[in-house]
Structure 1
Amino acid sequence: MGQKSRRKRRLARTIGAVSLTLAAVPAGHADPLLNQARNTYGMPGLIDMPTAETRTDGEFAVSMTRLDDNTQRNQITFQITPRISAAFRYSRVPGLQYNAPGEAWTALYDRSFDVQWTFLDEGQYLPSMAVGLRDFVGTGIYSGEYLVATKSLTEKLRATAGIGWGRLGTFGEHSGWGTRPAYDFSSTGGQLNGTSWFKGNYAPFFGLSYALTEKWTLKAEYSSDDYPREKKYDDFDRKSPFNFAAAYSPNEFVDLQMFYMYGTRVGFQFSINIDPKSAPFPSGLETAPLPVKPRPAYAADPDGWSGTWASDPTAQPAIQTALADALKKDGQILESMSLSKDRAELRIRNNRYLSTPEAVGRAVRIATRALPSSVETIVITPVNKGMPLAALTFRRSDVEKLENTSSYDMLARTGVGDTGRDPAQVPTPGVYPRYSWALGPYTAVSLFDPDQPLRLDVGAELAGRFEAAPGVVFSGVLRQKAFGDVGDGTAADPTGGVPQVRTDTTLYSRYPGTTIRQMQGAYYAKASDDIYLRATAGLFEQMYGGVSGEMLWKPADSRLALGLETDWVKKRDYNQRFDFQSYSTVTGHASAYYDLSNGYLAELDVGRYLAKDWGATMQLSRVFSNGWKVGAFATKTDISASDFGEGSFDKGIFFSIPLSWASGTPSTSSIDSTIRPLTRDGGQKVYVDGRLYSVVSPAQGGQIYDDWGRFWR
Structure 2
Amino acid sequence: MKLRFAAVLLLPCGLAHGEPRYTQNDFGGVGLLQTPTARMAPAGELSVNASRTEPYTRYSLSLQPFEWLEGSFRYTAITNRPYGPESLSGDQSYKDKAVDAKVRLWQESHWLPQVALGFQDIGGTGLFSSEYFVANKRFGNFDFSGGVAWGYMGSRGDFDNPLGWVDDRFDTRPPSEGTGDFNANYFRGSPSIFGGVAYQTPWAPLSLKLEYEGNDYKSEPFANSIKQDTPVNIGAVYKLTDSIDLSAAWERGNTAMFGITLHTNFASRKTPVKTYDPPAEPLPAQTPATPPEQVNWANVSQRLQNNAGYKVERITQRGSELLVYGEQSRYFYSAKAVGRASRILDNSVNDDIDWFTLVNKRYDMPLEETSVPRETFREVVKNEESLQDLHRATEVNAAVPHTETTLYTGVRDPFSYGLGLGYKQNIGGPDGLLYQITADADAEYRFTRNTWWSGLLSVNLLNNYDKFTYDAPSGLPRVRTDLRKYLTTSDVTMPTFQLNHAKQLDKDLYGMVYGGYLESMFAGVGGEVLFRPAGQRWSVGADLNFVRQRDFDQGFGLRDYSTVTGHVTGYTDLPFEAQAAVSVGRYLARDWGTTIDLSREFRNGVRFGGWVTLTTATKEEYGEGSFDKGIYISIPFDELMSMSTMRRANIVWAPLTRDGGARLNRSYSLHTMTDSRDSDLFYRNFEKITE
Once residues 495 and 37 of structure 2 are traced to their aligned partners in structure 1, the CA distance between those partners, rounded to angstroms, is: 46
Structure 2 counterpart of 1:449:
429
2:463 is the counterpart of 1:473: no
After TM superposition, give the deviation of residue 351 of structure 1 in Å: 1.8
Q: Indicate the residue corresponding to 1:535 in structure 2.
A: 513
CA distance 1:371–1:92, change in 2 (3 Å): same
Give the aligned partner of residue 207 of structure 1.
196
Alignment match, 2:24: 38
Given that 1:346 and 1:381 are in contact with CA atoms closer than 8 Å, whether structure 2 keeps it comes out as yes
- Contact 1:443–1:457 under 8 Å retained in 2: yes
Residues 276 and 406 (structure 1 numbering): CA distance in 2 closer, same or farther, change over 3 Å?
A: farther
| 1:492 aligned onto 2:477 | no
Q: Give the Cα–Cα distance (whole angstroms) in 1 for the partners of residues 19 and 69 of structure 2.
A: 15
Tell me if the contact between 1:599 and 1:625 (Cα under 8 Å) persists in the aligned partners: no
**1:261 paired residue number:** 251
Deviations 1:145-199 (A, max 9, x none): 1111111122x112111111111222251110214443335x422x2213x1122
Rounded Cα–Cα distance in structure 1 between residues aligned with 2:491 and 2:145: 58
Residue 125 (1) aligns with residue 115 (2) = no
* Match in the other structure for 1:53: 39
Q: Which residue of 1 aligns with 2:215?
A: 225
Q: Specify the code of the residue in structure 2 equivalent to 1:477.
A: L
For 1:350 and 1:597, locate their aligned partners in 2 and report how far apart those are by CA, in whole Å. 31
Given that 2:124 and 2:182 are in contact with CA atoms closer than 8 Å, whether structure 1 keeps it comes out as yes
Q: Aligned residue for 1:704?
A: 682
Q: 1:119 to 1:293 in 2, by over 3 A?
A: farther
Helix, strand or coil for the counterpart of 1:451? coil
Partner of 1:562: 540
Distance 1:468 1:344 in 2: 28
Counterpart contact for 2:83–2:95, Cα < 8 Å: no
Counterpart residue number, 2:154: 169
Of the three residues 575, 579, 590, the one matched with 2:568 is 590
Cα deviation digits, residues 72-101 of structure 1 (max 9, x gap): 111110111111111111111244568579
Q: Quote how far apart the aligned CAs of 1:253 are.
A: 0.8
Superposed CA offset, 1:211-243 (max 9, x none): 112110111111111223338756632111010
Moved more, 537-546 or 592-601: 592-601
Q: Once superposed, what is the RMSD of the aligned Cα atoms?
A: 2.6
Q: Which residue of 2 aligns with 1:27?
A: none
Displacement after TM superposition at 1:480 (Å): 2.0
1:575 is paired with a residue whose SS is: coil
Question: Percent identity at matched positions?
Answer: 27
Q: Secondary structure at the match of 1:576?
A: coil
1:95 and 1:524 map into 2 onto residues whose CA distance is: 56
Question: In 2, distance between residues paired with 1:263 and 1:504?
Answer: 46
CA contact (8 A) 1:43 1:85 kept: yes
Distance 1:408 1:74, change over 3 A: farther
- SS of corresponding position for 2:427: strand
What letter matches 2:464 in structure 1?
D
Give the length in aligned residue pairs: 662
Instruction: Give the Cα separation in 2 of the matches to 1:208 and 1:112.
Output: 26
Q: Structure 2 counterpart of 1:182, which letter?
A: P
Task: Decide whether aligned partners of structure 1 residues 467 and 596 sit closer, same or farther in structure 2, where only a CA change above 3 A counts.
Answer: farther
Structure 2 CA distance for aligned equivalents of residues 346 and 363 of structure 1: 9
Q: Report deviation, 1:273.
A: 0.8
- AA partner of residue 684 (structure 2): D
Is the deviation greater in 546-555 or in 87-96? Answer: 87-96
User: How much does 1:114 deviate?
Assistant: 1.0
- What residue number does 1:8 align with? none
Mean alpha-carbon deviation: is it higher for 403-412 or for 77-86? 403-412
Q: Is the 8 A contact 1:587 1:609 kept in 2?
A: yes
- The answer (yes or no) to whether the contact 1:595–1:702 under 8 Å persists in 2 is no
Q: Determine if contact 1:389/1:700 at 8 Å carries over to the other structure.
A: no
1:198 to 2:187 alignment: yes
Q: Does the CA contact (< 8 Å) of 2:217 and 2:226 recur in 1?
A: no
- Which is greater in Rg? 1
Provide the residue aligned with 1:157 in structure 2.
142
Confirm whether residue 183 of structure 1 aligns to residue 172 of structure 2. Answer: no
Measure how far apart 1:326 and its partner are: 4.2
The Cα shift of 1:281 comes to 4.2
Q: In the alignment, is the contact (CA less than 8 A) between 1:344 and 1:378 conserved in 2? A: yes
* 1:491/1:505 contact within 8 Å kept: no
Counterpart contact for 2:49–2:59, Cα < 8 Å = yes
Q: Could you list the runs of 5+ residues in structure 2 that have no partner in the other structure? A: 1-16, 165-169
Q: Distance in 2 between matches of 1:106 and 1:487?
A: 15
Counterpart of 2:240 in 1: which secondary structure? coil
Task: Compute the displacement of 1:323 (Å).
Answer: 4.1
Change (3 A) 1:523 1:598: farther
C-alpha distance in structure 2 between counterparts of 1:425 and 1:568, whole Å: 44
Contact 2:44 2:268 in 1 (8 A): no
Please say if residues 43 and 267 of structure 2, whose CA atoms lie closer than 8 Å, have aligned partners that are also in contact: no
User: By how many angstroms is 1:142 displaced?
Assistant: 1.2
**What's the offset of the Cα at 1:491?**
4.5
Which deviations, in whole Å up to 9, do the C-alpha atoms of 1:493-533 show, x marking residues without a partner? 4533x211111111111113422111111111112221111
CA–CA separation in structure 1 for the residues paired with 2:286 and 2:505: 38
CA contact (8 A) 1:336 1:425 kept: no
TM-score of the two chains, using structure 1 as the length reference: 0.87
Bigger shift: residues 328-337 or 200-209: 328-337
Residue aligning to 2:394: 414
Aligned mates of 2:331, 2:172 — CA distance in 1: 54
Residues 1:558 and 1:220: Cα distance change in structure 2 (over 3 Å):
same
Which residue pairs with 2:672 in the alignment?
694
Counterparts in 2 of 1:653 and 1:379: CA distance versus 1, 3 Å: same
Question: Per the alignment, in what secondary structure is the counterpart of residue 507 of structure 1?
Answer: helix
Distance in 2 between residues matched to 1:649 and 1:292, nearest whole Å? 58
Partner of residue 547 from structure 1, selected from 516, 525, 543: 525
